[in-house]
C-alpha cells in the first residue's frame, strides 16, 4: 500500500487570536463548507461535526471583532493631563493676580484664592476623586458672587474647558472600565471556543486520515488524499506566517538586548495531528 502522508501539525494553539481565527476559517471555508454529501461520505465525517466546527468558528470570529473593538485607545491619560494643565493655569492666574498692581485683579485673586484653598493638591489625588473635586471646584468658582472675579482674572474660558475635559475624562474612564470587563468575559469565552475548535479540527483530521488509510482502492483513496494535501497547504501557509511573526519579535527583542528562546520544533505546544496506525496496516490493507 502507498504511504499515506500525515496531516501536519498546525501550531495553532500558539497563534494569536486573529491568526487562529484566520487559520480555521480558511480550513473550513476552503475545504469543508458546503461539501457535497457524497464527498463528505468519502471522508466519513458526520455532518454535525462540520456544522459545529463552522458554528464555533463563526462565534469566535464575532468575539475577535469585539476584542479588537475594545482595544480602542481611550484617551483617559490625555484627558487627565489636560485637566491638570488647566488646574495649573487656574492656580497660576490666581497666584499671579495676588501680586497684581491692578486693584480689581488683586481683589478678584484674593477672593478666589480663598475659594481654591480646599482644592490645593487636587492634581495629585486619584483620578476618580479628582473628577469629584473638579466638579466641586467648578461649582464654587461659577457661583454668581464670583462671576466678576472670574472675569477679572480671565478664567471664564479656562473653567469652560476644564468642565468639558472633566466630562470627557469621566466618559472615557467609564468606557474603559466597561471595555475591560467585556474583554475579561470575551477572554473566557474565547478560551473555551478555541479548545472546542481544536478538538473538532482534530476529530475531522482523524477521519480524513483514516478514510485515506482504510480506503479499499486508489479511487476511493483519491479524495481523502486530496483533502490531506489541501489541509497541509493551508497549515504550511499559516505556520509560515506564525514563524515569520515570531522571528520579527525575536529580532525586535534582540535589538533591545533581550534573548529569545529558540522556536520549539513543530509538534510541541501546537495542534500536532498524529494518526494511530494499526500494527497490521500492511497486511490488512494490501
Question: Tell me: the pLDDT tens digits for 61-74?
Answer: 887 776 555 444 45
Higher pLDDT, 190 or 282: 190
Query: HSE of 279 in the Cβ direction (CA atoms, 13 Å)?
Result: 0
Residue 132 lies inside a defined structural domain of this protein: yes
Average pLDDT over the chain, rounded to an integer: 86
**109 lies in some domain:** yes
Q: Quick check: is 277 in a domain? A: no
Contact 195, 120 (CB under 8 A): no
**What pLDDT is attached to residue 132?**
95
pLDDT of 211-263, one tens digit each?
999 999 999 999 999 999 999 999 999 999 999 988 888 776 666 655 544 44
Q: Is residue 286 part of a domain?
A: no
Q: Is 279 part of a structural domain of the chain? A: no
CA–CA distance, 154 with 108 (Å, rounded to integer): 10
Q: Which residue has the cell 491692578?
A: 102
Residues 6+ apart with CB under 8 A from 135: 166
**47 occurs within a structural domain:** no
Number of domains in the chain: 1
Question: Cα torsion for 37, 42, 43, 46, to the nearest 10°?
Answer: 40
CA distance 110 to 85: 22
Q: Which residues contact 190 (CB under 8 A, 6 or more apart)?
A: 17, 60, 63, 64, 67
Burial class of residue 206, CB neighbours in 10 A (0-12, 13-18, 19+): middle
List, for residues 1-20, the tens digit of each pLDDT value.
568 999 999 999 999 989 99
Cβ atoms within 10 A of the Cβ of 167, count? 14
Pull the grid cell for residue 63: 468575539
Structural domain range at position 125: 76-178
Q: Is residue 56 part of a domain?
A: no
pLDDT for 3 = 84
What would the grid cell of residue 142 be?
461659577
Look at residue 173 and tell me whether its pLDDT is greater than 70: yes
pLDDT value of position 127: 85
Amino acid at each position: 500500500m502507498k504511504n499515506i502522508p500525515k496531516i501536519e501539525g498546525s501550531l495553532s494553539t500558539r497563534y494569536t487570536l486573529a491568526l487562529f481565527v484566520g487559520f480555521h476559517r480558511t480550513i473550513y471555508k476552503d475545504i469543508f463548507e458546503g461539501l457535497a454529501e457524497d464527498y463528505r461520505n468519502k471522508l466519513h465525517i458526520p455532518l454535525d461535526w462540520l456544522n459545529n466546527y463552522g458554528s464555533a468558528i463563526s462565534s469566535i470570529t464575532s468575539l475577535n471583532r469585539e476584542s479588537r473593538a475594545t482595544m480602542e485607545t481611550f484617551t483617559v491619560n490625555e484627558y487627565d493631563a489636560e485637566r491638570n494643565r488647566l488646574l495649573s493655569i487656574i492656580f497660576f492666574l490666581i497666584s499671579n493676580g495676588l501680586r497684581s498692581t491692578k486693584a480689581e485683579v488683586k481683589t478678584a485673586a484674593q477672593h478666589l484664592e480663598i475659594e481654591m484653598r480646599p482644592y490645593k493638591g487636587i492634581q495629585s489625588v486619584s483620578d476618580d476623586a479628582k473628577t469629584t473635586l473638579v466638579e466641586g471646584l467648578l461649582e464654587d468658582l461659577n457661583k454668581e458672587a464670583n462671576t466678576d472675579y472670574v472675569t477679572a482674572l480671565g478664567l471664564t474660558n479656562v473653567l469652560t474647558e476644564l468642565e468639558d475635559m472633566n466630562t470627557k475624562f469621566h466618559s472615557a474612564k467609564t468606557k474603559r472600565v466597561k471595555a475591560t470587563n467585556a474583554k475579561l468575559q470575551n477572554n473566557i469565552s474565547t478560551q473555551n471556543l478555541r479548545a472546542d475548535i481544536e478538538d473538532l479540527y482534530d476529530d475531522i483530521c482523524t477521519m480524513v486520515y483514516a478514510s485515506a488509510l482504510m480506503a479499499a482502492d486508489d479511487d476511493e483513496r483519491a479524495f481523502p488524499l486530496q483533502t490531506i494535501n489541501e489541509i497541509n497547504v493551508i497549515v504550511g501557509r499559516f505556520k509560515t506566517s506564525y514563524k515569520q511573526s515570531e522571528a520579527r519579535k525575536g529580532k525586535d527583542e534582540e535589538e533591545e538586548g533581550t534573548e529569545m528562546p529558540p522556536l520549539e520544533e513543530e509538534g510541541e505546544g501546537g495542534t500536532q495531528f498524529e494518526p494511530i496506525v494499526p500494527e497490521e496496516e500492511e497486511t490488512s490493507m494490501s
